[in-house]
């Protein structure tokens, strides 16, 4: 069994403040595979103090942005040789099918590091505007400060990169808390960061449970919280940050709708749903588990969906043929099972799957891929985030009703529209209240484009320029008209040049 004895605080591997540990359990074998130290409040205090010192007095926030870009690019170079190791670790600790781990869990984060540095390289850190009142105005983007980042277990490395890299590029210092279910890939990231030679205090990584997360979020030394997790937990984070007037971004839950128009191809839709609705064994906030089908071709689409879902291979996540792996914990398996029971009790028709372990498995936290049809949009299985391989089909009569049903949800994170008529698909997509949508595909997580939700799906955006701005404050400096034209030109030149800036670091 793999063991770790130290925590990564301020760039150094140090002894934890207590002897408490976290056992990492394989969701396939139900056996412990690793043991790591559990951070305690004293460790959080030490990490935040180091981050505070590094931000307030250290060089990192004060570097030219181009220098930070150059350093973070080295992280992408060091990441690539360890990609397969990361894929194996993620599959071990949370059960993602190895093919998904190799593509989305491990390959995509490496690509994102490079893409996000490209965004930073082109970002307008400073500009000079002609003020309406006659004085020139310098507009400067500066790092927000010490960032607390809370990472969930379902896409651990992907979401670590989504928060860590823009924060570093912006000039922030960061204390990152991975989920207790998935601390192993976070340790690899710590090793990679240690190789970069960052200034002391810039990054700390502290595995821990909810108590540690709550303590970190409410810590007076933190300037900004970036949280990804459930909507219920996000409300707690928002309340804590609101009382402290602390900046916060929240990427929360979803119950995304796949709107299938009546001219779509049933086979293409069914194949697409294995990704859109069942990626990562359904353990994805963007999973489109609410499928809206037109009544006039309802039977065709249902038959195609049933055939595809029934044929999905379930089992050992290290088997390349596996499409559906285990749930991350026994608790999550029981939660998903309870929703299947709830769907049957509410009157939805169970067409594929259902409760109990899949055939051939006598252990592991597995759920059979499940398809409910004839569901009402008001049912709990159509309204609440299940976070497992459970699809609910809701019929509709026309495009207007489809849009109404898609919007009849407290969530608004993702979604899709399926049709060969792109103009028609775009028309429907523009009417759906959601932060992201795809046409004839699930939304592609493009690091150049903003990602996030509306309504109960979150506040703020990640990726793209908009994601970078979540880690920045904007400062305006007005400049009185100069006594002579030459001195005015000199002042304008100095305020528009990053090299002429001091402090606040961008």
Q: Catalytic site residues?
A: 251, 285
Sequence-separated (6 or more) residues with CB below 8 Å from residue 311: none
Which sign, positive or negative, has the C-alpha torsion 318, 323, 329, 334?
negative
In whole angstroms, what is the distance from residue 175 CA to residue 237 CA? Answer: 16
Whether 255 and 432 have beta carbons less than 8 Å apart is answered as no
Whether 90 and 27 have beta carbons less than 8 Å apart is answered as no
Among 222, 207, 216, 203, smallest CA distance to 11 is for 203
In whole angstroms, what is the distance from residue 220 CA to residue 504 CA? Answer: 20
Q: Please state the φ and ψ torsions of residue 155, each to the nearest 5 degrees.
A: -135, 65
Among 201, 215, 159, 200, smallest CA distance to 44 is for 215
Among 170, 181, 174, 168, smallest CA distance to 204 is for 174
In whole angstroms, what is the distance from residue 86 CA to residue 133 CA? Answer: 55
Residues facing 250 on adjacent strands: 227, 459
Sequence-separated (6 or more) residues with CB below 8 Å from residue 143: 55, 61, 170, 171, 172, 471, 472, 473, 504, 505, 506
Whether 498 and 506 have beta carbons less than 8 Å apart is answered as yes
Whether 52 and 18 have beta carbons less than 8 Å apart is answered as no
Angle at alpha carbon of residue 96, lines to 74 and 212, rounded to 5°? 70
In whole angstroms, what is the distance from residue 173 CA to residue 10 CA? Answer: 9
Q: Give the Cβ contact number of residue 421 at 10 Å.
A: 13
Q: Residue 432: helix, strand or coil by DSSP?
A: coil
Residue 335 exposed, middle or buried by CB count within 10 Å (0-12, 13-18, 19+): middle
Which sign, positive or negative, has the C-alpha torsion 184, 209, 100, 160?
negative
Q: Give the Cβ contact number of residue 384 at 10 Å.
A: 16
Q: Where are the beta strands (DSSP E) in 117-269?
A: 126-130, 136-143, 146-150, 173-177, 203-205, 224-228, 247-251, 257-260
| Cα–Cα separations (whole angstroms), residue 264 to 300, 336, 389, 404, 429 | 11, 30, 23, 19, 15
Q: How many residues does the chain have?
A: 506
């Amino acid at each position: 069994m793999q063991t770790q004895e130290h925590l990564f605080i301020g760039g150094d591997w140090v002894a934890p403040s207590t002897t408490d540990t976290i056992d990492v359990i394989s969701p396939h074998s139900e056996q412990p595979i690793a043991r790591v130290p559990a951070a305690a409040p004293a460790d959080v205090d030490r990490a935040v103090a180091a981050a505070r010192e590094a931000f307030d007095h250290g060089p990192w926030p004060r570097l030219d942005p181009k220098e930070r870009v150059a350093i973070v690019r080295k992280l992408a170079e060091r990441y690539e040789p360890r990609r397969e190791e990361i894929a194996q670790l993620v599959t071990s600790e949370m059960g993602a099918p190895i093919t998904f781990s190799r593509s989305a869990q491990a390959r995509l984060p490496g690509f994102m590091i490079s893409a996000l540095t490209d965004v930073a390289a082109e970002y307008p850190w400073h500009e000079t505007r002609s003020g309406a009142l006659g004085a020139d105005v310098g507009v400067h983007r500066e790092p927000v400060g010490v960032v607390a980042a809370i990472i969930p277990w379902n896409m651990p490395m992907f979401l670590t990169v989504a928060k860590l890299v823009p924060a570093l590029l912006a000039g922030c210092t960061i204390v990152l808390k991975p989920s207790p279910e998935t601390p192993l890939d976070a340790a690899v990231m710590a090793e990679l960061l240690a190789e970069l030679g960052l200034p002391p205090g810039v990054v700390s990584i502290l595995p821990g449970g909810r108590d540690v997360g709550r303590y970190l979020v409410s810590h007076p030394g933190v300037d900004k919280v970036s949280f990804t997790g459930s909507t219920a937990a996000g409300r707690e984070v928002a309340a804590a940050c609101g009382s402290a007037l602390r900046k916060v971004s929240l990427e929360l839950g979803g119950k995304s709708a796949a709107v299938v128009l009546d001219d779509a191809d049933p086979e293409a839709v069914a194949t697409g749903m294995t990704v859109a609705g069942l990626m990562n064994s359904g353990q994805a906030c963007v999973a489109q588990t609410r499928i809206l089908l037109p009544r006039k071709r309802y039977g065709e689409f249902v038959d195609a969906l049933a055939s595809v879902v029934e044929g999905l291979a379930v089992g050992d996540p290290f088997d390349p043929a596996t499409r559906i792996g285990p749930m991350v914990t026994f608790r999550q398996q029981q939660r998903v099972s309870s929703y299947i029971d709830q769907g049957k009790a509410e009157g939805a028709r169970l067409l594929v799957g259902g409760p109990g372990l899949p055939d051939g498995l006598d252990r592991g936290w597995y759920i059979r891929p499940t398809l409910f049809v004839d569901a009402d949009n008001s049912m709990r299985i159509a309204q609440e985030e299940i976070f497992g391989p459970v699809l609910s089909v809701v019929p509709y009569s026309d495009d207007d009703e489809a849009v109404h049903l898609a919007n009849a949800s407290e969530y608004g994170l993702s979604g899709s529209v399926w049709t060969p008529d792109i103009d028609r698909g775009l028309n429907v997509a523009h009417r759906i209240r959601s932060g992201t949508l795809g046409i004839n595909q699930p939304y592609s997580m493009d690091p150049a484009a903003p990602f996030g939700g509306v309504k109960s799906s979150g506040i703020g955006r990640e990726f793209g320029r908009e994601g970078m701005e979540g880690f920045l404050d904007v400062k305006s400096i007005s400049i009185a008209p100069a006594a002579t034209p030459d001195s005015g030109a000199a002042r304008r030149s100095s305020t528009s040049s990053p090299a002429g800036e001091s402090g606040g670091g961008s």
